[in-house]
């Protein structure tokens, strides 16, 4: 790590990023392996969606070797979008991404209302997405039979489903036993975004499915991407990749190639930056970082407020520079 004038600088030459320009071919990996970016939803000062900025982001990330895009997740502030906006963002991102290449689009369609989840998922399927990302029904915290019924009804729409386990936000943790049961009982469940901060659980889940070609484990906790992949995980839905896409893609490529020393070097470089990007509730700090890199407005919708003075200081200390 290089520090100049109190700012973290990006020592690109010190990192062995390798060739990350061309996407990995699908015969090399499973359909949902790789690094996916959970897109922010840019807003104008009027609080309307900034469609031009969203298109610029999709075009930028399309050239960096990513596996695909995740619109309307936590990073995309889905909870503040109307149903109409949520559907429009899914359709817009899918259209733009598919026009740019062979990218997977995994639309976040989860809700604590099964009916709302079904409506969003049906729209996502009609828009041409590859899969839906369905969070555990937050706040209501259903029991196992409720989970089976919820995911079973989503599966009836005949679209690939990625589970999304994020105990901190949902108030409910999918255990390994829950995940195994859901995969066995619900036909279209093909993987999970595992966003637990419990490294023991993450490793157990990654180990269990390491050799199962029908189920992909993706890290949803950015600080544990390395740990997930060395234990059988296959990639990540990674908000850090919005700010450091080349480094995150290179980390994953080195892991796939078994180049652990090179991957570990990038992981060490990324860790303090991951911590900085999550210094406030996501995506507050990340949007501030993207305002520096891509010129979007660092605006979040209520109840999220603007970045605190300390968060601004933390992000500015990263020394981010505009992308050309």
Is 75 annotated for ligand binding? Answer: yes
Strands (E), 46-179: 68-70, 104-108, 131-135, 160-165
**C-alpha–C-alpha distance, residues 186 and 246, integer Å:** 36
User: What is the DSSP-derived secondary structure letter of residue 31?
Assistant: T
Residue whose tokens read 């859901």: 182
Judge residue 170's burial from the number of C-beta atoms within 10 Å of its C-beta, 0-12 exposed, 13-18 middle, 19 or more buried: buried
237 labelled binding-site residue: yes
∠ Cα 227 12 96 (to 5°): 75
CA distances from 148 to 119, 141, 144, 153 (A): 18, 13, 6, 9
Active site residues: 164, 193
d(CA 301, CA 244): 24
In the annotated binding site for pyruvate, the residues are 75, 237
**Which residues fall in the annotated binding site?**
75, 237
């Amino acid at each position: 790590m290089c520090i100049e004038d109190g700012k973290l600088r990006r020592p690109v030459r010190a990192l062995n990023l390798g060739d990350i320009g061309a996407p990995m071919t699908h015969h090399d990996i499973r359909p949902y392996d790789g690094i996916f970016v959970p897109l922010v939803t840019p807003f104008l000062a009027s609080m309307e969606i900034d469609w031009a900025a969203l298109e610029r982001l999709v075009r930028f990330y399309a050239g960096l070797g990513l596996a695909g895009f995740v619109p309307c997740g936590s990073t995309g502030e889905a909870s503040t979008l109307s149903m109409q906006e949520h559907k429009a963002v899914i359709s817009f991102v899918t259209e733009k991404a598919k026009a740019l290449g062979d990218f997977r689009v995994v639309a976040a369609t989860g809700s604590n209302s099964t009916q709302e989840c079904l409506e969003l998922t049906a729209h996502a399927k009609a828009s041409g997405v590859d899969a839906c990302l369905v969070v555990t029904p937050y706040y209501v915290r259903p029991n196992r039979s409720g989970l089976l019924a919820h995911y079973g009804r989503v599966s009836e729409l005949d679209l690939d489903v990625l589970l999304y386990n994020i105990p901190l936000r949902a108030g409910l943790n999918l255990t390994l036993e829950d995940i195994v049961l859901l995969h066995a009982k619900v036909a279209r469940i093909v993987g999970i975004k595992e966003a637990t901060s419990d490294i023991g659980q993450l490793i157990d889940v990654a180990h269990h499915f390491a050799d199962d070609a029908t189920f992909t484990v993706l890290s949803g906790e950015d600080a544990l991407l390395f740990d997930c992949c060395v234990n059988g995980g296959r990639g990540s839905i990674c908000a850090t990749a919005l700010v450091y896409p080349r480094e995150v893609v290179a980390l994953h490529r080195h892991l796939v190639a078994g180049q652990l020393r090179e991957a570990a070097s990038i992981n060490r470089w990324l860790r303090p930056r991951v911590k900085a990007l999550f210094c406030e509730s996501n995506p507050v700090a990340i949007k501030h970082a993207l305002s520096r890199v891509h010129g979007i407005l660092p605006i979040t919708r209520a109840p999220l407020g603007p970045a605190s003075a300390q968060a601004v200081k933390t992000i500015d200390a990263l020394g981010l520079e505009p992308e050309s």
